[in-house]
């Protein structure tokens, strides 16, 4: 009996990555069930569409097979908003917060799960990080929602305007890309308020929480970690290059920038330059873009944003490590050096492994 009991215990013991995967799966299933309820929809919704929507919201992917604004009621849209928040910050963040509110002790296993979920190198300080992460995220989302409401409340009324502001604020910060409007953000292509607030949110959410905390703690570029330096400089340079490329390629395209005046062209180029790296929003019609722009956008989407963030992709730091390693090889250098720091060989191999695996999955798909 003891041997059988030990076997059962081994079966139910999961590693932190397995627990996280199972947790996300359960959240998607629960979310699908909630979206299938009559109170959630304005018209019948198939189970596969409900599953797709729940999975897209929880994994902050942003793809949609039905129109969020017309298919779902206020309750259904609130469910989607909740799934986005849980998916972006991580369900373990919310689980730990609930345990703390109940006054329960957080054990070693839970701390290991949080460490895995937030991609932290050590287990120390992860609970404190959860508190700061939650308060920071909620504060940023609420402040951004208030700013957006200045623009949206006069247009949609108090209740609808406030909800739309909160929905798009949460969707943007968590890099989900869900919108309540059929054309996403195309109606606001030249609107400074919407463009600045939305891009600030998804750039902040996508740059990575470890980077944000490092910046708030040290406040001097020289004192930042190598990861923070790579993310800040890489994001700035890549966004600037992407904006210039899109502006040049789409300048005369009547389906995108061609019919806009110069000011709106710049706003649209900026927005489309920063959004592909997993933000999911669009202020221009992707279907009308030229093939060169679409291929360039594919590269931006593949790169993604920062690790320990609300975004995905192979990660910008991974791309930078590979790029600098190639440059070092072509220059005949034996080591890859970035900001006077030598990149260890295992890190380069890991970056290559992540990239090749991702390429294989993409092309297989």
Tell me the pLDDT tens digit for each residue of 38-73.
Answer: 999 999 999 999 999 999 999 888 889 999 999 999
Of 312, 310, 314, the C-alpha closest to 88 is 310
Q: What angle do CA 44, 47, 52 make, to 5 degrees?
A: 110
- What band does 262 get if pLDDT is binned at 50, 70 and 90? very high
Q: Of 62-66, 196-200, 304-308, where does mean pLDDT reach its minimum?
A: 304-308
CA distances from 271 to 90, 185, 316, 320 (A): 26, 10, 18, 22
Quick count: other Cβ atoms within 10 Å of Cβ 346? 8
In the block, residue with structure tokens 């380069």: 348
DSSP string, 169-218: HHHHHTT----SSTTTTGGGTT-HHHHHHHHHHHHHHHH-HHHHHHHHHH
Residue 342: helix, strand or coil by DSSP?
strand
Average pLDDT, the chain: 86
For the chain, give every domain's residue range. Answer: 1-89, 220-364
Of 210, 207, 209, 202, the C-alpha closest to 232 is 207
How do residues 103-117 score in pLDDT, each as one tens digit? Answer: 666 666 666 666 555
What pTM value is reported for the model? 0.85
Instruction: Give the DSSP H or E segment for 337.
Output: strand 336-338
**For residue 215, what pLDDT is reported?**
87
What is the average per-residue pLDDT within 310-334?
87
Whether 75 has a pLDDT exceeding 80, the answer reads: yes
More confident residue, 208 or 71: 71
Instruction: Return the CATH architecture of domain 1-89.
Output: Orthogonal Bundle (1.10)
């Amino acid at each position: 009996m003891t041997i059988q009991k030990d076997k059962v215990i081994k079966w139910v013991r999961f590693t932190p990555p397995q627990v996280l995967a199972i947790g996300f799966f359960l959240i998607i299933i629960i979310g699908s069930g909630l979206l299938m309820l009559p109170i959630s929809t304005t018209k019948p919704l198939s189970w596969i569409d409900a599953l797709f929507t729940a999975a897209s919201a929880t994994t902050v992917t942003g793809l949609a097979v039905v129109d969020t604004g017309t298919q779902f009621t206020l309750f259904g849209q609130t469910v989607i908003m909740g799934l986005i928040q849980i998916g972006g910050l991580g369900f373990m963040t919310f689980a730990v917060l609930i345990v703390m509110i109940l006054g329960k002790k957080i054990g070693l296993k839970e701390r290991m799960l949080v460490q895995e979920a937030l991609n932290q190198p050590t287990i120390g300080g992860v609970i404190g990080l959860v508190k700061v992460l939650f308060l920071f995220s909620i504060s940023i989302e609420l402040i951004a929602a208030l700013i957006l409401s200045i623009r949206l409340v006069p247009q949609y009324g108090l209740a609808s305007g406030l909800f739309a502001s909160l929905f798009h604020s949460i969707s943007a910060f968590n890099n989900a890309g869900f919108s309540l409007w059929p054309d996403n953000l195309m109606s606001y292509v030249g609107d400074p308020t919407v463009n600045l607030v939305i891009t600030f949110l998804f750039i902040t959410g996508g740059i990575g929480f470890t980077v944000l905390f490092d910046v708030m703690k040290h406040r001097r570029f020289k004192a930042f970690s190598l990861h923070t330096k790579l993310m800040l400089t890489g994001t700035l340079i890549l966004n600037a290059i992407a904006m210039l490329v899109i502006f040049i390629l789409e300048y005369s395209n009547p389906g995108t920038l061609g019919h806009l005046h110069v000011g709106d062209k710049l706003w649209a180029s900026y927005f489309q330059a920063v959004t592909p790296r997993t933000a999911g929003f669009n202020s221009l019609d992707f279907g009308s873009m030229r093939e060169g722009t679409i291929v360039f956008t594919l590269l931006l989407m593949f790169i993604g944003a920062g690790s320990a963030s609300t975004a995905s992709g192979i990660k910008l730091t991974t791309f930078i490590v590979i790029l600098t390693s190639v440059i070092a090889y072509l220059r005949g250098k034996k080591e890859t050096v970035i900001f006077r720091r030598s990149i260890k060989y295992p890190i380069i191999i890991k970056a290559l492994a992540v990239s090749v695996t991702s390429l294989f999955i993409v092309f297989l798909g």
